[in-house]
């Protein structure tokens, strides 16, 4: 009986990572799911997924997780670098230590995870590294300086790594989701408000928060991103990039079609319109409650 391919998913305690782990399991993978909040992965345990504590900013944690897989399975076929989060706020107002923490997770955590699994993949002369980036690695997001910078870095790192690993039979794939129907946008919006407070970027922060909440309302189901990851993991010759969801495809197309100035103008107008839309919704709800 052939051994099932082995996959490791980081940041699997919620959202996209949680769905990716489930979809890979359904498609025949022996899945290991890692995250700091192990208790939130009980539902994954229930369907036969191996859950483990994994902090991508902790070298010892990474080494322990990869070593366990090596001992248990003797191989690793797919690494899905999904762990990450979004830091939003004006460059002038975000403390440098928070910016460094953003890169520690989104870029250096990803690179360390990849670095630790490569000896296993080189040994078997095959493997696939799937990096979950974002359309924010292609287009600007209002007050998304450090988040966007981290995703642009993931894009560049992935392209270079693909060339670096080709001789070993290891492929590198990038997934570029847009907004998803999750709590991510609301969390980012609350963070914007706390950073801006009553400073010079208060109005822009309100527009950016409204923009994030509005696009999330029309975002893709995390399952759609998960299906793209499964395609990348199972295709004989995968694409170098997958852009799941209509909204994400529209953003990438708009970036290709419009000049920088035109794209800037479109994003700024969307921010203003989103704030008006969110404000009118609040007023409408307040009126309904009063009645």
- What whole-number distance in Å separates Cα of residue 222 and Cα of residue 11? 14
What's the distance, CA 70 to chain centroid? 26
- What whole-number distance in Å separates Cα of residue 55 and Cα of residue 237? 31
Catalytic position from the list 25, 134, 138, 147: 147
pTM for this prediction? 0.89
Domains of the chain (ranges; CATH) run: 6-184+220-245 (3.40.50.720)
- What whole-number distance in Å separates Cα of residue 28 and Cα of residue 36? 25
Q: What is the per-residue pLDDT across 11-50, written as a single tens digit (0 to 9) for each?
A: 999 889 999 999 999 999 999 999 999 999 999 999 999 9
13 catalytic, yes or no? yes
Catalytic position from the list 22, 25, 138, 151: 151
Q: Are 62 and 119 in contact (CB under 8 A)?
A: no
Which of 92-106, 199-213, 254-268 reaches the highest mean pLDDT?
Answer: 92-106
147 catalytic, yes or no? yes
151 catalytic, yes or no? yes
Cβ neighbours for 121, distance < 8 A, ≥ 6 positions apart:
76, 77, 127, 129, 168, 169, 170
Catalytic position from the list 25, 133, 134, 274: 133
Confidence of residue 288 (pLDDT cuts 50, 70, 90): low
138 catalytic, yes or no? no
Q: What is the per-residue pLDDT across 67-85, written as a single tens digit (0 to 9) for each?
A: 999 999 999 999 999 999 9
**Residue 192: pLDDT over 80:** no
């Amino acid at each position: 009986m052939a051994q099932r391919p082995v996959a490791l998913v980081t940041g699997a305690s919620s959202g996209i990572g949680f769905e990716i782990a489930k979809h890979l399991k359904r498609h025949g993978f022996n899945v290991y799911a890692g995250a700091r909040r192990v208790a939130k992965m009980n539902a994954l345990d229930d369907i036969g997924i191996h859950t483990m504590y994994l902090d991508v900013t902790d070298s010892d944690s990474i080494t322990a997780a990869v070593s366990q897989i090596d001992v248990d399975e003797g191989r690793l076929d797919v690494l899905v670098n999904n762990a990450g989060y979004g830091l939003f706020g004006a460059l002038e107002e975000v403390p440098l230590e928070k910016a460094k923490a953003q890169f520690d997770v989104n870029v250096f955590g990803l690179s360390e995870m990849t670095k630790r699994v490569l000896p296993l993949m080189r040994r078997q002369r095959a493997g696939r590294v799937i990096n979950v980036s974002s359309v924010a690695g292609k287009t600007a997001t209002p007050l998304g300086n450090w988040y966007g910078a981290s995703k642009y870095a993931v894009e560049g790192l992935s392209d270079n790594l693909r060339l670096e690993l080709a001789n070993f039979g290891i492929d590198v794939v990038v997934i570029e989701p847009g907004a998803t129907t999750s709590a991510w946008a609301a969390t980012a919006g609350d963070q914007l408000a706390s950073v801006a407070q009553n400073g010079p970027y208060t109005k822009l922060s309100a527009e950016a928060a409204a923009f994030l909440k509005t696009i999330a309302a029309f975002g893709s189901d995390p399952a759609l991103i998960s299906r793209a990851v499964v395609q990348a993991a199972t295709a004989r010759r995968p694409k170098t990039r997958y852009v799941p969801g209509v909204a994400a495809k529209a953003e990438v197309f708009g970036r290709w079609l419009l000049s920088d100035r035109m794209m800037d103008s479109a994003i700024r107008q969307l921010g203003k319109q989103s704030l008006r839309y969110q404000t009118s919704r609040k007023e409408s709800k307040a009126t309904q409650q009063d009645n």
